[in-house]
A and B are shown apart, each in its own frame.
Chain A
Amino acid sequence: MEGLYAICVGVLTSCGIYLLLRGRTFPVILGLIMLSYAVNLFLFASGRLNSNMATILGESDTFADPLPQALVLTAIVIGFAMTAFMLVLSIRAYSENGNDHVDGKPADERVHDSSIAADKGGQKE
Chain B
Amino acid sequence: MSLLWIPLLPLLGTLIPLLAAKLERTLILALTAIAPTLALILLLSFTGEVFSGNTLTFSLSWVPVLGLDLAFRLDGLGYLFSLLILGIGLLVILYARYYLSKDDSIVRFYASLLLFMTAMLGIVLSNNLLQLWMFWELTSLSSFLLIAFWHDNSAARKGARQALTVTAMGGLALLAGLVLIGQVVGSFDLSVVLASGDLLREHSLYPIILVLVLLGAFTKSAQFPFHFWLPHAMAAPTPVSAYLHSATMVKAGIFLMARFHPVLADTDLWVSIVTLTGLTTLALAAYFALFKHDIKALLAYSTVSHLGLITLLMGLGTELALMAALFHVINHALFKAPLFMAAGIVDHETGTRDLRQLNGLWKYMPITATLTMTAAASMAGLPLLNGFLSKEMLMAETLKFDHFGALSWLIPVMVVFGAIFSVAYSIRLVHDLFFNGEPKRLPRMPHEPPVMMWLPVAFFVVLVVLVGVAPVIVEPLLLSAVSAASGQPAPDTHLQLWHGFNMALVMSAIAIGTGLWIYGRRLHLYDFQERFPEINASENFDRGVKNVMYKCRDWYQRIDNGSLQRATFLLLSFTLVILLPTLTAKAGPGPVFNVKPMDGAMLSGTLLLVFGAIMVVILHHKRLLSLLMMSVVGLVVALIFVLYSAPDLALTQLSVEVVTLILIVLALFFLPHKTPEESSSPRVMRDLGIAGLFGALMGTLTYALITRPFDTISGFFTENAKTGGGGTNVVNVILVDFRGFDTFGEITVLGIAALGIFKLLAGVRLHYRSADAAGMTWSGDKHPFMLNVVSQSMLPLALLVSAYIFLRGHNMPGGGFIAGLITAVAIIQQYIAHGIDWLQSRFRFEYSILIASGLLVATLTGMGSMVLGYPFLTSWFDYITWPIVGKFEVASAIAFDLGVYLTVVGSTLMILTNLGKLTTAHRPREEEAI
A18 proximity list for chain B (CB < 8 A): 617, 687-688, 691
Assembly CA distance A88 to B759 (angstroms): 10
Instruction: Say whether B645 contacts A81, CB under 8 Å.
Output: no
Instruction: List A contacts of B634 (CB < 8 A).
Output: 33, 37
Q: Which residues of A contact B756 (CB under 8 A)?
A: 85
- Whether the pair A116, B633 counts as a contact (CB closer than 8 A) is no
Inter-subunit contact A57/B730 (CB<8 Å): yes
CB pair A91–B766 under 8 Å, yes or no, is yes
A64 to chain B: which residues have CB within 8 Å?
A: 644-646
A contact residues around B640 at 8 Å (CB):
5, 8, 41
Scan residues 702-749 of chain B and give those whose CB is less than 8 A from a CB of chain A.
702-703, 705-707, 710, 712-714, 717-718, 721-722, 728-731, 734-735, 739, 742-743, 746, 749
Residue of B nearest to A15 (CB): B613
- A106 at the A/B interface (Cβ < 8 Å)? no
Q: How far is the CA of A32 from the CA of B618 in the complex (A)?
A: 16
CA separation between A95 and B688, bound complex, in Å? 31
Q: Give the residue of B630, B811, B813 whose beta carbon is less than 8 angstroms from that of A33.
A: B630
Residues B730 and A63 in contact, CB atoms below 8 Å apart: yes
Which chain A residue lies CB-closest to B686? A116
Bound CA–CA A37/B679 (angstroms): 25
Bound CA span A11–B562, Å: 30
A4 touches B603 (CB 8 A): yes
> B703 and A6: CB pair below 8 A?
yes
- Interface-located stretch among B224-232, B407-415, B651-659: B651-659
* Cα(A19)–Cα(B614), bound, Å: 11
CB within 8 Å for A34 and B613 given contacts A1-B602, A40-B637, A66-B734: yes
Question: Is residue A2 contacting chain B, with contact meaning CB distance below 8 A?
Answer: yes
Residue of A nearest to B764 (CB): A95
With A and B bound together, what is the CA distance between A103 and B567 in angstroms?
10
The verdict on B131 contacting chain A, using a C-beta distance below 8 Å, is: no
Asked if residues B563 and A38 are in contact (CB atoms below 8 Å), the reply is no
Q: Which residues of A contact B617 (CB under 8 A)?
A: 15, 18-19
Min Cβ gap B631→A in Å is 10
Assuming the contacts A42-B698, A73-B649, A111-B562, asked whether A55 and B761 have C-beta atoms less than 8 A apart, the reply is no
Q: Which of B634, B640, B679 has the most chain A CB within a 10 Å cutoff? A: B640
Choose, from B4-12, B505-513, B666-674, the stretch at the interface.
B666-674
Contacts of A115 in B (CB 8 A): 680, 682-683
Size band of the interface chain B makes with A: 35 or more
Q: How far is the CA of A78 from the CA of B817 in the complex (A)?
A: 11
Of the listed residues B593, B641, B813, the one surrounded by the most CB atoms of chain A closer than 10 A to its CB is B641
B557 close to chain A: CB less than 8 A: yes
A81 surroundings in chain B (CB, below 8 A) = 749-750, 753-754, 907
Q: Could you tell me if B561 and A91 are in contact, using CB atoms closer than 8 angstroms? A: no
Given A30-B626, A54-B645, CB of A45 within 8 Å of CB of B698 = no
Name the A residues within 8 Å of B627 (CB-CB).
Answer: 30
Interface: B347 (CB within 8 A) = no
B904 within 8 Å of A (CB atoms): yes
Contact assessment for B764 and A67 in the assembled complex, using a CB-CB cutoff below 8 Å:
no
Contacts of A76-93 to chain B: CB distance below 8 A: 76-85, 87-92
Cβ of B637: which chain A residues have Cβ within 8 Å of it? 37, 40-41
Cβ contact within 8 Å between B613 and A73: no
Label chain B's interface by main secondary structure.
helix
- Decide yes or no whether B60 CB sits under 8 A from chain A: no
- Shortest distance from the beta carbon of A26 to any chain B beta carbon, whole Å: 5
Query: Which of A7, A10, A29, A116 touches B680 (beta carbons < 8 Å)?
Result: A116
CA distance A36 to B97 in the complex (A): 72
Instruction: Select one of B599, B683, B696, B712 contacting A114, CB under 8 A.
Output: B683
Q: Which of A27, A42, A104 makes the CB contact (< 8 A) with B675? A: A27
Contacts of B705 in A (CB 8 A): 42, 45-46
**A19–B817 touching, CB < 8 Å:** no
A12-B613 in contact given A63-B730, A67-B717 (Cβ < 8 Å) = yes
Residues of A contacting B712 in the complex (Cβ-Cβ under 8 angstroms): 47, 65, 67
Closest to B653 in A: A76
Distance to closest chain A CB from B607 (angstroms): 9
Nearest CB of A to B301, in Å: 46
Give the bracket for the number of chain A residues in contact with chain B: 35 or more
Contact A6 B700 (CB under 8 A): yes
> A-B contact count, CB below 8 Å?
336
Residues of B near A83 (CB, < 8 A) are 660, 663-664
Q: Mark B624-638, 1 if CB is under 8 A from A, else 0.
A: 001100100110010
> In the docked arrangement, what's the CA distance between A84 and B667, Å?
9
A30–chain B nearest beta-carbon distance, Å? 6
Contact B692 A14 (CB under 8 A): yes
**Looking at the complex, which one of B562, B678, B700, B731 makes contact with A23 (CB distance below 8 Å)?**
B678
Least CB distance, B139 to chain A, in whole angstroms: 43
Q: Are B694 and A17 in contact (CB under 8 A)?
A: yes
A73 to B735, Cβ gap below 8 A? yes
Chain B contacts of A54 at CB under 8 A? 645
Contacting B616 at CB < 8 Å: which of A21, A34, A48? A34
A4 to chain B, nearest CB (A): 4
User: Does B786 belong to the interface (CB within 8 Å)?
Assistant: no
One digit per residue, 1 when the CB lies within 8 angstroms of any chain A CB and 0 when it does not, for chain B 867-903 equals: 0000000000000000000000000000000000000
Q: For A47, list chain B residues within 8 Å (CB).
A: 712, 714
Contact A77 B915 (CB under 8 A): no
Which residues of the other chain, A, contact B735 by a CB distance below 8 angstroms? 70, 73-74
A119 touches B620 (CB 8 A): no
Contact pattern, B 547-591, Cβ under 8 Å of A = 1, otherwise 0: 000000000011001111110110010000000000000000001
Q: Which residues of A contact B761 (CB under 8 A)?
A: 88, 91-92
Complex Cα–Cα for A66 and B730 (A): 6
Q: Which of A12, A58, A103 has the most CB of B within 10 A?
A: A12
B561 touches A65 (CB 8 A): no
Contacts of A84 in B (CB 8 A): 660, 663, 753-754, 757, 911
User: Judging by beta carbons under 8 Å apart, are A21 and B565 in contact?
Assistant: yes
Q: Is the CB of A2 within 8 A of B760?
A: no
Q: Which of A10, A104, A114 sits near B698, CB closer than 8 Å?
A: A10
A11 in complex: contacting residue of B565, B614, B915, CB < 8 Å: B614
What residues of B have a CB within 8 angstroms of the CB of A79 in the complex? 656
Q: Does A107 contact B (CB under 8 A)?
A: no
Using CB atoms, name the residue of chain A closest to B747: A77
CA distance A23 to B687 in the complex (A): 12
B44 part of interface (Cβ distance < 8 Å) = no
Complex Cα gap A74–B739 (Å): 11
Name the A residues within 8 Å of B690 (CB-CB): 17, 21
Residue of B nearest to A112 (CB): B563
Q: Which chain B residues lie closer than 8 Å to A90 at the CB level?
A: 667, 671
Interface centre among B561, B564, B614, B702 (most CB of A within 10 A): B702
B695: chain A residues at CB < 8 Å are 10-15, 17
Is residue B643 contacting chain A, with contact meaning CB distance below 8 A?
yes
B930 interfacial contact with A, CB 8 Å: no
CB-CB under 8 A for A89 and B760, given A45-B705, A77-B817: yes
Whether B645 contacts A66 by the Cβ 8 Å rule is: no
Verify B730–A113 contact, CB threshold 8 A.
no
Q: How far is the CA of A8 from the CA of B304 in the complex (A)?
A: 73
Does B623 sit at the interface, judged by CB under 8 A? Answer: yes
- Are A3 and B760 neighbours in the complex by a CB distance under 8 Å? no
User: Is B667's CB under 8 angstroms from A100's CB?
Assistant: no
A57-B731 in contact (CB<8A): no
Is there contact, CB below 8 Å, between B641 and A44?
yes
Contact B564 A6 (CB under 8 A): no
> What chain A residues lie within 8 Å of B623 (beta carbons)?
26
Known: A44-B644, A100-B671, A115-B683. 11 other contacts (CB 8 A): A5-B703, A13-B695, A21-B572, A22-B675, A42-B701, A45-B706, A65-B712, A78-B746, A90-B671, A95-B670, A110-B562
23 A-B pairs with CB atoms under 8 Å apart are: A1-B595, A1-B596, A2-B591, A3-B703, A8-B640, A17-B691, A17-B694, A17-B695, A20-B568, A27-B675, A44-B641, A48-B706, A55-B729, A64-B645, A65-B714, A70-B731, A77-B750, A78-B749, A83-B663, A87-B663, A87-B664, A113-B565, A116-B680
Q: Which 5 pairs from chain A and chain B are nearest by CB? A: A10-B699, A14-B695, A6-B703, A18-B691, A113-B563
